[in-house]
A = this chain, B = another copy of it.
Amino acid sequence: MKKLINAPEDVLVESLKGVAAAHPELAVDLETHVITRAEPKAQGKVAVVSGGGSGHEPLHGGYVGRGMLDAAVAGEVFTSPTPDRVQAATKAVDRGAGVLHIVKNYTGDVLNFEMAAELAAMEGIEVGTVVVDDDVAVQDSLYTAGRRGVGLTVLLEKLVGAAAEEGQDLAAVVALAQRVNGQGRSMGMALTSCTVPAAGKPTFELPDDQMEIGIGIHGEPGRHREPLAPASEIARQLVEPILADLDAAGPAIVMLNGMGATPLIELYLMYGEVAALLERAGVQIARNLVGDYITSLDMAGCSLTVLKADDELLRLWDAPVVTPGLRWGA
């Protein structure tokens, strides 16, 4: 395992120390692993909280700031944070107008945030929850854990953060979150596995001439493995399952995301391929992101997220955002 770390068990806290050193505009609690804005929002505003396992940086801590999250809770690598820490974040940012929990659909995240919401209710804090489940690689079914929450989480945090920032109430913010979740889909692939520091070796072995299609963001193996293909073919394998699941004709916000070890030159190349396919299918890309926004440690690969947009979503998208990971308009 080759990583810029000291002891594997210290990775999370030491990385948070670096975040604290780099971003005086954030308050980083090294005990609870909760990141909040140094300057909290005013009383009476809905607070937006997200969190999950670490290893997806800049998600979630990098999205704390004006126009996006009020707090992020960082779990151990790939492990949902515990309920007491989610509750600590919830209490820290509640401004009397309720708190939205943005949860990615994994059993661990759902259970821990559920328990946290129970704790919050006991203390009289109103909590709304959205469970993001946008990953078309996973067949959805009533009888399974359902689809995973992946790339759409980034777009949702931005849009919902803008709505909360402009003073929308909890019901409106929750409704917006549900709506965004309903009209966004993602699909990912990997060229290599990632290596969890505590495990010390790659989660899966992928021969030099193979790739995994349909991976999530935790080094889980994908839906299937196949021979390494050119970017144009990979693009097709990302675009088609999304469009099979979502009628995305019309304006859209599109993200081509790197998994952590994919250089930008490749991401742009893939974006060119993907944008051409989408546009041929009638998707009008109104806004886009190309870069590392929700990663999987040192995995090489990428994911595509397509969110159907409208004037309201584009307005919220363009609203100012000032976070380490996304910044514009201010």
* A230 beta carbon closer than 8 Å to chain B: yes
Pick the contact of A292 from B266, B292, B298 — CB < 8 Å?
B292
Chain B residues positioned under 8 Å from A261 (CB to CB): 260-263, 298, 300
Chain B residues positioned under 8 Å from A273 (CB to CB): 14, 18
Question: Closest chain B residue to A55 by CB distance?
Answer: B265
> A120-153, CB under 8 A of B: which get 1 and which 0?
0000000000000000000000000000000000
Question: Closest chain B residue to A262 by CB distance?
Answer: B4
Find out whether the CB atom of B2 lies under 8 angstroms from the CB atom of A228.
yes
A62 to B263 CA separation, bound complex (whole angstroms): 13
Find out whether the CB atom of B21 lies under 8 angstroms from the CB atom of A191.
no
A230, A269, A292, A300: which has the most chain B beta carbons within 10 Å?
A269
Cβ distance A20 to chain B, nearest Cβ, rounded Å: 8
* A164 beta carbon closer than 8 Å to chain B: no
Find out whether the CB atom of A4 lies under 8 angstroms from the CB atom of B302.
yes
Find out whether the CB atom of A14 lies under 8 angstroms from the CB atom of B275.
no
Cβ distance A207 to chain B, nearest Cβ, rounded Å: 10
Chain B residues positioned under 8 Å from A5 (CB to CB): 230-231, 266, 269
A230 to B22 CA separation, bound complex (whole angstroms): 20
14 contacts across the A-B interface (CB closer than 8 A)? A4-B191, A4-B231, A4-B269, A6-B231, A11-B269, A17-B272, A18-B268, A18-B275, A57-B263, A260-B261, A260-B263, A261-B263, A262-B298, A263-B298
**Interface SS, A side:** mixed
- A: contact size bracket: 35 or more
Chain B residues positioned under 8 Å from A103 (CB to CB): none
* A192 beta carbon closer than 8 Å to chain B: yes
Chain B residues positioned under 8 Å from A11 (CB to CB): 265, 269
* A215 beta carbon closer than 8 Å to chain B: no
Find out whether the CB atom of A15 lies under 8 angstroms from the CB atom of B57.
no
Question: Closest chain B residue to A77 by CB distance?
Answer: B265
Pick the contact of A327 from B14, B276, B328 — CB < 8 Å?
B328
> A229-266, CB under 8 A of B: which get 1 and which 0?
01110100000000000000000000000001111111
